[in-house]
Structure 1
């Protein structure tokens, strides 16, 4: 059995895991999970009790949730491509540091804005959430701009899983117009470089349900019902 990535639409952070799988190039399948309807339903909660994407079902039917864990799982299989690094090495620590920052500070900065948008906040509540979220998004962009320095990629001369995760979140400014990324020219160059990457174009095509052109690892979609039948009997 090939691994199956359960990815959320529209515009889930699972986008980064699709990019990472394309960079890895090994066989995998995808399962499309609509948000919020399907992701919070009883059927999907058999896959992920928290009701969130992404989740990865490995070749043995075992489940891994949370982007950080999934990306490290992929990275361990892509050390030869410098997507990940050997545990205990300095590069492994640097990658985890950057992934943790993206998973907490960068991702979290958008949380107040998403809440205001998705939960119908209005009046003073919406104003407060939007003001706070906007300030946080501006702050994390400034911090990442400083971290990037003159490097072409987040960790230096080679793209890694951190860049895959970054692009899936950075695109959220199209929903929340709280800054102009051109004010952060180094991040804008990274964003443009990633948007031109074939794996990122592939992930966009997958989300839009148009014919993707991939690396050859993608083996097609699996419905949620089909995936549930692949769970070990003990679950």
Structure 2
């Protein structure tokens, strides 16, 4: 078996895990999960009872959910490539801190906006959710701009898993149009640099269902049924 990432479309936060897999360069497969339909289906919930993406099925058949857990799992094998750091080091603590901010503050800031969009909220309720979401997204951008400072990447002079996770979330500003990233020149510079990265371009093509040229270990896509059959055989 090969490790397989189950990624959500459209615009799932699993985007960062696809980028991380490309940077890591190990053999992997992808499994496309449509949201909200398939991700909440009984079939997918056999893999992830929470009904969310991403989920990584490892080469030994273990299942790992939540972006932070998946990124740290991949990072443990990517230390030599500069994607992560040895646990117990100052650098690892800093990476964990930035990933936690991206997960609990940057990612979560978009929650009210996604809720209004995906649940068809209208009228004053929609206005209230968008105003609340806009305030949270604005603060998260300002805080992350301070964290980045004058560094080339979120952790310093080399890209890490934090940058992979960032670019998958940062693109959500296009969907909601409540902040202009150009007001945060450091984040805009980082976003543009990442958008030019071959792994990021690959992840965009994968999400759009286009022919995607991998620079890593991508072995192709499999279906949810394929994953379920393999899980039964491995049981």
TM-score range, shorter chain: over 0.9
CA distance in 1 between partners of 2:160 and 2:50 (Å): 27
CA distance in 2 between partners of 1:20 and 1:97 (Å): 18
Q: What displacement does 1:232 show?
A: 5.1
Q: What displacement does 1:4 show?
A: 0.3
CA distance in 2 between partners of 1:130 and 1:201 (Å): 30
> What is the 5 A alignment of 1:1-235?
1-231=1-231
Preserved contact between residue 109 and residue 137 of structure 1 (Cα < 8 Å): yes
Q: What displacement does 1:120 show?
A: 1.1
Q: What displacement does 1:98 show?
A: 0.5
Structure 2 portions without partners, runs of 5+: none
Preserved contact between residue 153 and residue 190 of structure 2 (Cα < 8 Å): yes
CA distance in 2 between partners of 1:143 and 1:26 (Å): 34
Q: What displacement does 1:157 show?
A: 0.4
* TM-superposition CA deviations, 1:51-74 (whole Å, max 9, x none): 000000000101000000000000
CA distance in 2 between partners of 1:100 and 1:124 (Å): 32
Q: What displacement does 1:233 show?
A: 5.4
* TM-superposition CA deviations, 1:57-107 (whole Å, max 9, x none): 000101000000000000001000110111111111111100010001000
What SS does the aligned partner of 2:112 have?
helix
Q: What displacement does 1:198 show?
A: 0.4
Tell me the TM-score normalised to structure 1 length. 0.98
Preserved contact between residue 21 and residue 216 of structure 2 (Cα < 8 Å): no
Tell me the TM-score normalised to structure 2 length. 0.98
Q: What displacement does 1:234 show?
A: 7.6
CA distance in 2 between partners of 1:233 and 1:69 (Å): 25
Structure 1 portions without partners, runs of 5+: none
Count of equivalent residues: 235
Preserved contact between residue 53 and residue 66 of structure 1 (Cα < 8 Å): yes
Q: What displacement does 1:215 show?
A: 1.4
CA distance in 2 between partners of 1:124 and 1:103 (Å): 29
CA distance in 2 between partners of 1:109 and 1:78 (Å): 29
Q: What displacement does 1:145 show?
A: 0.6
Q: What displacement does 1:216 show?
A: 3.6
Preserved contact between residue 62 and residue 231 of structure 1 (Cα < 8 Å): no
Preserved contact between residue 61 and residue 232 of structure 1 (Cα < 8 Å): no
The ranges of structure 1 where at least 4 consecutive aligned residues each deviate by more than 4 angstroms after the TM superposition are 232-235
